[in-house]
């Protein structure tokens, strides 16, 4: 009978750490070729968590792919996995804060709209509050730097096939 006391604690712990089983398949037409792209919600969630824990770069390729989908596709995704959209829009907002602050604010507002339709447990699963805090930190930092007239700098890395980028 001891398992009755243990199981609810395990269930509550697992709820905060769930990964979305959502899968997005897209056929993209690029230069006359059809490229199949598959994105798993769990992969994006894990990449966001690594980024927030300073263990990896932000998953900007995936985020910008999601943000640039047509509105009707985004609507469908919002009904199925709004966390994917909320996280993607916030990542895109963070990445554009220094170069296009007005666009960043628009992207963050869209992320907030998607977050407002999510249950609280899903917000925790996507680390939405932590991601929003990172957005706010970036917004304040960009505002301070731009108000003093400091120009943002951009580092560009050109990688070659099989080149190790662990130093970056």
Q: What is the pLDDT of residues 112-139, one digit of tens each?
A: 999 999 888 888 888 999 999 999 999 9
CA distance 87 to 44: 9
Residue 39 CA neighbour count, 13 Å, CB half = 24
pTM assigned to the model:
0.77
Contact by Cβ (8 Å): 136, 92: no
Per-residue pLDDT band for 165 (boundaries 50, 70, 90) equals low
pLDDT digits (tens, 9 = 90+) for 5-35: 433 433 434 444 455 678 888 887 778 888 8
> Looking at residues 130-153, what average pLDDT do you find?
87
Task: At 108, list the tokens.
Answer: 């963050």
Tens digit of each residue's pLDDT (9 = 90 or more) over 29-77: 778 888 888 888 889 999 999 999 999 899 999 999 999 999 999 999 9
CA–CA dist 160, 131 (Å, integer): 31
pLDDT the model gives residue 161: 65
């Amino acid at each position: 009978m001891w398992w009755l006391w243990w199981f609810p604690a395990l269930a509550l712990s697992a709820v905060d750490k769930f990964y979305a089983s959502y899968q997005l398949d897209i056929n993209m037409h690029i230069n006359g070729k059809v490229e199949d792209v598959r994105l798993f919600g769990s992969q994006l969630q894990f990449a966001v968590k690594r980024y927030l824990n300073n263990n990896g770069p932000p998953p900007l390729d995936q985020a910008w792919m999601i943000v640039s989908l047509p509105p009707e596709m985004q609507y469908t995704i919002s009904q199925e996995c709004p966390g994917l959209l909320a996280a993607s829009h916030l990542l895109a907002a963070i990445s554009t804060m220094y170069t296009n602050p007005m666009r960043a604010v628009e992207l963050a507002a869209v992320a907030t709209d998607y977050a407002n339709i999510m249950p609280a447990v899903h917000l925790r699963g996507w680390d939405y509050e932590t991601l929003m805090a990172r957005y706010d930190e970036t917004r304040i930092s960009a505002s301070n730097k731009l108000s003093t007239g400091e120009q943002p700098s951009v580092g560009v890395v050109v990688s070659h096939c099989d080149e190790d980028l662990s130093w970056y």
